[in-house]
Amino acid sequence: MTNGWIDIKNTDMMLIMGGNPAENHPCGFKWAIEAKIQRNAKTIVVDPRLTRTAATADLYLQIRAGADIAFLGGVINYALDNNRIARDYLVNYTNAGFIIKEGFKLPDDGLYSGFDPETKMYDKSSWNYEEGGDLSGKAVLPTPSGQNARATHVQGSDTGQGHQGASPAGAKAGASPVPLLPSKVAFDLSLQHPRCVFQLLKKQYERYTPEMVERITGIPQDQFLKAADLYTSIRKDGDMKKVSTIIYAVGWTQHSFGTQIIRTAAMLQMLMGNVGRAGGGVNALRGHSNIQGATDMAGVFDTLPGYLKMPNPNDVDLATYLKRITPISSKPDPWNSFNYWSNTPKFTVSLLKALYGPAATKDNDWAFHYLPKIDRNYSWVNIWNDMYEGKIKGLFAFGMNGVMIGPDSTKNIEALKKADWLVVCEIYPDETSEFWRAPGISADDQKKINTTVYRLPGAGFAEKDGSFTNSARWLQWKQIALPPPGEARLDQDILAMIYLKVRELYQKEGGKFADPVLNATFAYTNPYAPSLAEVAKEVSGKALADITDPKTNQTIKSGQQVPGFAWLKDDGTTACGNWIYSGSWTEAGAMIQRRGTEDPSGLGIYPNWAWSWPANRRVLYNRASCDLNGKPWDSSRRQVWWDEGKQLWVGNDIPDFKPDSAPKDHMGPFIMNPEGIGRLFVPLGGMADGPFPEHYEPIESPIANPLHPNQSNNPVVKKYKTEFDKYGTADQGFNVICTTYRLTEHYHYWTKNNPMNVQLVPEPFVEVPAELADRMGVHGGERVKVTSARSHYIAKAMVTRRIRPMKIDGKEMFQIGLPIHWGFRGIAEDEGKTAKTLANQLTPTVIDPNAFTPEFKGFLVKIEKA
């Protein structure tokens, strides 16, 4: 979330799409209700089903799963056509006026410039800004660009901080010179230049007419126009007082173009001037208690804590690595850019000091080579794919039920059969630890499965302390209520036990490159039962020598906690496990344990409740809540503002900005981008599949893409090649669109063990449109069989009029819906009340090229009476 849960109450308009917060985040959804009651805010819900969120909406539209970019692109087109845009914001806080290099081509045929059909990758050198100066009002052919410009490597993606923040370690990294961003960008603040981002954007989305939206999404034009008009109505006549928010979840992420859907939303919000403002933003709901934290802490292959990039083999030393990953600002010459990532070396060296302590010295590049170097994709589906292909011998699954999660659970089970060993830490018996006796595997078959499985009883949430980071980026500590039952142990004790035992073996026997194993710091008071409070302090960071701030003369003594990331050094005098969490546990105590309930501004900021990254800022990019002069766009929702007397940014929230940068300096509010502005156009390596989002069909789609039938799918998406990776087509009879989701009564694959939740929804079911059920001759409660190219699923039908037949590109089509919660171990399963099929046995192995998230939504099936 750029904003936060409570902040939703400040909004005037909500677009909820790709998420179902009433069902999946009910207690957060109260703030949407609060906005309705307190502000008469309106809600537009766009979803393949009439969900419980839609039940409370002012306007509900049924969309085909996977058509979201078409819808949002259509709204962008509408906003541009009807001047429902925030002109000043757009010109000054986004790259709308930046000139793009000649040679860049929009995807009229489905392909941007630079596509290589052989590698299915783009040469992105034309996706770049033109170097130059002010071309405002000079809408003529620009002068050729200079030859010796200072340039930089592009970083990350756009404004998103979550999932999509990391770019892949390109397989071709280093193979050819990496193109760079110009340090001085040519610009046209009149937005007239034919190659300025704004004009390209207009051209890109003028193709997304209401007719086209209807053909792709199945939403009738009149309904679409109603929604587009309502959503953009807050910006009528350019009035900046009102604000709207976009709320989404994995209904957007889980597509083979998921990141681009989210980008489309971010672009719409920037066009309308909604980012950085109370009641605005682009708000990823995140689905689990600590996956925001896991993303922050680099629980994913391609990052290190705090969104630092993993090194690749071309990073021959730390300096090379830092040069590659540290951006240099790139902006119009008269403007300023804070370019906060320029501090990357401080964050990196402090991380290495935290990980390796005294073993990280200047002489050994702060132990840089203790870290593995990666140059290919090691993400989730590749774990299963590569395990199936025999590359992975051993797997740890700590609270992660990979068989249920899929995609293509059958393939995951087959992969586990090929592993030597599997260590599962769980609190309930789960499908992953019992893959070897999954339905269909006979006792004889089991005898042929040679995987050794250790199942270790872990601790439940109430039995552990530690912090979770919620989707509003709040870190909150929880207390221990009771000890784990039986012989169950705390997860950190289990991990420490295993790691220290491995270390002991390396100490005794030696082995391959033992240095990192031996030298990683584990100097907790009891290393075998690491205190999470001690770990949290290590994450927040401390001084390793006396350090002094030259400006204020304040000194932090050696051994003391640092107050925040501004104190981190690249000379080994500070250690910090995650720079964005720096300041979460200071000498003043555990900021993440604070329980201050005061909210003086009434905006729901609660500055003294727990702590949010970065630096306790509650709304990201909040400089953008003010006009060019530093005055809030809306004086009734004042977050931060420029104090002329103090010559400082001050306010109710912590300014997400350089505190002493006066408005006249024209520093951009998006301080994490080297340009300082929000990116409508993502240059160079930011995105794998295009600088603007383009609608592509899901990998399994019932129609050819109406925009460009010859390039129907996302061109950079690759299919997998094991015998399990089959992809279905409508011609083969897979002509029903299927989507998967959670119910409010259940939580993933966990509450199937909870008798209360099982009582609420006892059995798996399939939601089937009444018209389709009629044709099949199926009544509610009768069993149906849903079959994809990969497998089948059997459950009772819930016949409903909440999903209606649709016209997609002129053809009548049906969508069905599948809750994901049932497997082959659970209360209902063990009582024999289910067919023990898994929803994710149906889903295809295919991933978004930016975030590597599988396409769980919008695949093709057939459905019949079982």
Partner 1 sequence: MSDRKTLQIQRMSAHPGPIPGTGVQRDVQVCKLVDTTTCIGCKACEVACVEWNDMPFGATTFDNTYQTMPETRWNFWNLIKFNEHPREDGTVQWLMRKDQCMHCADPGCLAACPADGAIVQYTNGIVDFNQENCIGCEYCVSGCPFNIPKLNPGTKKVYKCTLCSDRVGEGLEPACIKACPTGCLKFGTKDDMKFIAEERAKQLRDNFGMEKAGVYDPESIGGTHVIYVLHDATDPERYGGLPKNPTIPWSYTVWKWLFKPVLGAFALFGGLGVLLHYVTVGPRRPQPEPPNKEGTNGNGD
Partner 2 sequence: MELSRRTFLKGTLVGGVGFSALGFDLTPVYAQTQGLKISRATETRSTCPYCSVSCGVIIYTLGDKAKNAIPQVVHVEGDPDHPINRGTLCPKGSSLEQDILNDRRLLKPQVRRPGATDWEDISWDQANAEIAQRVKKTRDDTFLEKDSQGRTVNRCEGIAWTGGCTDTNEFNYLVVKSMRSLGVCYLENQARV
Binding site for partner 1 (CB under 8 A): 22-23, 26-27, 29-30, 33-34, 36-37, 40, 50, 52-56, 58, 60, 744-745, 755-756, 758-763, 765, 770, 779-781, 796-802, 804
Three-class SS state of 309: strand
Tell me the residue type at 564. G
- Distance from C-alpha of 555 to C-alpha of 564, rounded to nearest angstrom: 13
Query: Would you count residue 28 as binding partner 2 (CB under 8 A)?
Result: yes
Assigned token pair, 383? 């774990």
561 binding partner (options partner 1, partner 2, none; Cβ < 5 to 8 Å by kind): none
226 near partner 2 (CB under 8 A): no
| Nearest-angstrom CA–CA distance, 657 and 754 | 46
Site for partner 2 contains 604 (CB under 8 A): yes
461 binds, among partner 2, partner 1, none (CB under 5 to 8 A by kind): partner 2
DSSP E strand stretches across 195-320: 244-248, 282-284, 303-304, 308-309
3 state DSSP class of 63: coil
CA 485 – CA 474 distance, rounded (Å): 30
- Residue 512 binding: pick among partner 2, partner 1, none (C-beta 5-8 Å cut-off by kind): partner 2
Q: From the list 153, 163, 242, 569, which residue makes contact with partner 2 (rule: CB under 8 A)?
A: 163
Structure-token match 């249920």, residue found: 404
Half-sphere exposure (CA, 13 Å, Cβ side) for 685? 22
Residue 273 CA to chain centroid, in angstroms? 22
607-646 residues in contact with partner 2 (CB under 8 A) are 609
Torsion sign across C-alpha atoms 639, 640, 641, 646: positive
Q: Work out how close the CB of 854 gets to partner 2 at its nearest, in angstroms, rounded to a whole number.
A: 6
- Strand 648-651 to strand 811-813: parallel, antiparallel, or no bridges (unpaired)? unpaired
Question: Is residue 750 a contact residue for partner 2 (CB under 8 A)?
Answer: yes
Residue 245 binding target from partner 1, partner 2, none, CB below 5 to 8 Å by type: none
Structure token digits, residue 832: 């024999």
What does 478 interact with, of partner 1, partner 2, none (CB < 5 to 8 A by kind)?
partner 2
Angle at 117 between CA 112 and CA 118, to 5 degrees: 145
First vs last Cα of the chain: how many Å apart? Answer: 42
Q: Is 594 in the site for partner 2 (CB under 8 A)?
A: no
799 binds, among partner 2, partner 1, none (CB under 5 to 8 A by kind): partner 1
Q: Given candidates 124, 184, 309, 746, which one binds partner 2 under the rule CB under 8 A?
A: 746
Residue pointed to by tokens 């939303």:
265
CB of 796 to partner 1, least distance (A): 5
Q: Looking at the DSSP assignment, which residues form a beta bridge with residue 42? A: 13
Q: How far is the CB of 282 from partner 1 (least distance, A)?
A: 23
Least Å from the CB of residue 706 to partner 1: 25
Q: Is 258 in the site for partner 2 (CB under 8 A)?
A: no
CB of 756 to partner 2, least distance (A): 4
Alpha helices (runs of H) in 426-490, residue ranges in sequence order: 443-447
850 binds, among partner 2, partner 1, none (CB under 5 to 8 A by kind): none
Which of partner 2, partner 1, none has residue 509 at its interface (CB below 5 to 8 Å by kind)? partner 2
Q: Answer with the entry of partner 1, partner 2, none that 796 interacts with (C-beta below 5 to 8 A by kind).
A: partner 1
Q: In angstroms, rounded to a whole number, what is the distance separating the alpha carbons of residues 277 and 618?
A: 11
Nearer Cβ to partner 1 (550/777): 777
Q: Which does 450 bind (CB under 5 to 8 A by kind): partner 1, partner 2, none?
A: partner 2
Site for partner 2 (CB under 8 A): which residue of 447, 710, 777, 832? 447
Which H or E run includes 62? strand 59-62
Rounded to the nearest angstrom, the gap between the alpha carbon of residue 205 and the centroid of all alpha carbons in its chain is 24
Q: Which contiguous run of DSSP H or E holds residue 612?
A: strand 611-612
762 binds, among partner 1, partner 2, none (CB under 5 to 8 A by kind): partner 1
Among positions 413-432, residues that touch partner 2 (CB under 8 A) are 420-421, 423, 426-429
Task: Work out which of 204, 476, 582, 714 binds partner 2, going by CB under 8 A.
Answer: 476
Rule CB under 8 A: say whether 385 interacts with partner 2: no
Point out which residues pair with 152 in neighbouring strands. Answer: 181
Taking the least distance from each CB to partner 2, the nearer of 335 and 378 is 378
Q: Which member of 402, 563, 669, 702 binds partner 2 (CB under 8 A)?
A: 402
Q: How far is the CB of 776 from partner 2 (least distance, A)?
A: 32
Residue 50 binds which entry of partner 2, partner 1, none, CB below 5-8 Å type-dependent: partner 1
Integer-rounded Cα radius of gyration of the chain: 27
**Is residue 790 involved in binding partner 2 (CB under 8 A)?**
no
Tell me how far apart the alpha carbons of residues 86 and 104 are, in angstroms, rounded to a whole number.
Answer: 26
Smallest distance, Å, CB 486 to partner 2?
A: 3
Element (H, E) at 348: helix 344-356
Residue 852 binds partner 2 (CB under 8 A): yes
Residues 56, 136, 233, 314: which binds partner 2 (CB under 8 A)? Answer: 314
135-160 burial by CB neighbour count: b if 16+ within 10 A, else e? bbeebeebeebeeebebbbbbbbbbb
Q: Are strands 815-819 and 736-741 parallel, antiparallel or unpaired?
A: parallel
Cβ nearer to partner 1, comparing 323 with 802: 802
The burial of 585, by beta-carbon neighbours within 10 Å (0-12 exposed, 13-18 middle, 19 or more buried), is given as buried
Of 434 and 745, the one with the shorter C-beta distance to partner 1 is 745
Cβ contact 407:857 at 8 Å: no
Per rule CB under 8 A, is residue 358 in the interface with partner 2? no
d(CA 782, CA 803): 18
Under 8 Å between Cβ of 778 and 852: no
Residue 191 and residue 199 in contact, taking contact as beta carbons nearer than 8 Å: yes
Q: Which does 266 bind (CB under 5 to 8 A by kind): partner 2, partner 1, none?
A: none
- Would you say 113 or 283 has its CB closer to partner 2? 283
Q: Which of 263, 489, 542, 862 binds partner 2 (CB under 8 A)?
A: 489
120 touches, from partner 2, partner 1, none (C-beta below 5 to 8 Å by class): none
- For residue 72, the minimal CB distance to partner 2 (Å) is 23
Contact between 488 and partner 2 (CB under 8 A)? yes
Beta-bridge partners for 304: 308
